[in-house]
Structure 1
């Protein structure tokens, strides 16, 4: 039995539990105390998934924060906008405080490459202090060196892989990046941090889906999230790499994870209306079926993150 951190809240009589590793919310069969809780991973995985679009709630279930634009790798499918300015350390602390108080079940720090931030652990602890869960998404290059300091700051680490081998991954991310990522995953697992592999799904790497699920088990990762490539940022130039959600769903159905490894697909339908706070401190949201991302407003108060009211919902 593996017990790890989750976050819970009840919305309109629905008992929600958020998994910070898989970035997935599930419907619990019974009420749980609100906030952070420690549950059996296998038990939570047996509960049905529930998505933001199915709930009439103004507070996002989870929010991605990208406080850094800089990265040590150059990936052709990167979602980030390199023209966005980065806020200074004091402003990052202010944003972390706002996010911690927004009521979201999950808060993820991404980038750019967040492990280039010297204050990353401080930010993770600040996010977790609000009663939700904190996670960090990284390319893994510096993870082995910094894994120990992330313990107590993050509830899960997500590591991006684009192929199940050095040949396939490094062709996209650069020489040595596969081995550094695998080394980082092993180090994080050794420190007791749950690790989920993020696999950006494209036509050119779809054949590696089973192999990366097998790799997850070998490395000790909890599972793999296959992310439908979004034509945002650098990815806008790779539209020919896009699979339809139906194609991706069919491919996932052929993957046979082994042992305790779990697999899931984040479709573009799921990614639509997802909330992102970028390095400029502005709230952004995926639109048009996650084909675009639009800036909404400066993040000054938690209410700036609220979703549009759904028909029949209570603001």
Structure 2
């Protein structure tokens, strides 16, 4: 499949960001800077940017980041890592922050929350970032409102990441509440019908790891491009569940590595190790980065211009 990625040159190294999977790859040949159309199978075969290379690149800005412009959510997931006491920016402030992100030249921006599909201005925010021509934009959602907004956002984002806490209705709804699974599945169908690239995401826990293979098979059935398994972070509400639900990175790898992956589906495990140093811009306009091991936060600064996204870090989500 030919789809949109973001590319940039760092010295003599060309890095390409995948907005669906959230990975950064090394291109074997130079590419034009900015948004580029590439074969996703070709990109998947390229080497990933590793932590040693990140240190050598001496990046001015992170390769990718998460922006959570909303705190509100229609669900109340007990493993949520968001700080719900944070003030939400106004619509005008959100637009200003989107312009700062666009001007920074960061390759990949994932708009999350809270629940970003509750924002009426979500398409405008995504397009503001994309208009600079250097970034690709994804959106992470619980899928509840995806069916009614799929057509509207299809031209604004480059990929949709839908969170599922299990491959079955019983497992997912145990965590997210009644009807949340069916609403998410309906939304995925609508997004695929609109031509949106969909990536399923599941926070790996002791209670759902047995459904990992089913989720990969479900992605193929739904027409999704792949599955990202996220290691649980002991932050926010999720800290209370960590002792009983959190897997070590080694345990998570033992779950993911044996999976049978259907043709056309990409599977990624984001370990806590690789999440160390990842940059987050939260709803009140303050940016921070994960500490090593992603067990806390550091470099907490207000973003008043593009330069404030230059958080000191030798690591990024690769």
Displacement of 1:57 in angstroms is 1.2
Residue 286 of structure 2 aligns with which residue? 282
> Residues 260 and 57 from structure 1, CA distance in 2 versus in 1: closer, same or farther, beyond 3 angstroms?
same
CA distance in 1, matches of 2:211, 2:53: 31
- CA contact under 8 A between 1:274 and 1:285: conserved in structure 2? yes
Q: Which deviates further from its counterpart, 29-38 or 279-288?
A: 279-288
Q: Secondary structure at the match of 1:108?
A: strand
CA distance in 2, matches of 1:69, 1:198: 20
Residue 304 of structure 1 aligns with which residue? 308
The answer for unaligned runs of 5 or more in structure 2 is none
- CA contact under 8 A between 2:226 and 2:266: conserved in structure 1? yes
Residue 256 of structure 1 aligns with which residue? 260
Is 2:164 the partner of 1:161?
yes
Displacement of 1:307 in angstroms is 3.4
Q: Which residue among 185, 209, 224 is the counterpart of 1:206?
A: 209
Residue 140 of structure 2 aligns with which residue? 137
> Residues 63 and 310 from structure 1, CA distance in 2 versus in 1: closer, same or farther, beyond 3 angstroms?
closer
What is the number of residues matched between the two proteins?
Answer: 310
CA distance in 1, matches of 2:111, 2:45: 27
Residue 175 of structure 1 aligns with which residue? 178
After TM superposition, where is structure 1 displaced by more than 4 Å over at least 4 residues in a row?
none
- CA contact under 8 A between 1:58 and 1:309: conserved in structure 2? no
CA distance in 2, matches of 1:52, 1:39: 24
Residue-by-residue CA offset, 1:95-139 (whole Å, 9 max, x unaligned): 000001111110111000000001110001011112210110000
CA distance in 1, matches of 2:93, 2:101: 12
Residue 63 of structure 1 aligns with which residue? 65
Is 2:147 the partner of 1:148?
no
- CA contact under 8 A between 1:7 and 1:17: conserved in structure 2? yes
The answer for unaligned runs of 5 or more in structure 1 is none
> Residues 310 and 134 from structure 1, CA distance in 2 versus in 1: closer, same or farther, beyond 3 angstroms?
closer
CA distance in 1, matches of 2:288, 2:313: 17
CA distance in 2, matches of 1:203, 1:57: 36
CA distance in 1, matches of 2:264, 2:200: 14
> Residues 202 and 126 from structure 1, CA distance in 2 versus in 1: closer, same or farther, beyond 3 angstroms?
same
Q: Secondary structure at the match of 1:6?
A: strand
Residue 23 of structure 1 aligns with which residue? 22
Residue 96 of structure 1 aligns with which residue? 98
Task: State TM-score, norm by structure 1.
Answer: 0.96
The two structures, once aligned, show a CA RMSD in angstroms of 1.3
- CA contact under 8 A between 1:68 and 1:279: conserved in structure 2? yes
Displacement of 1:288 in angstroms is 4.0
CA distance in 1, matches of 2:23, 2:103: 20
Is 2:189 the partner of 1:190?
no
CA distance in 2, matches of 1:74, 1:59: 33
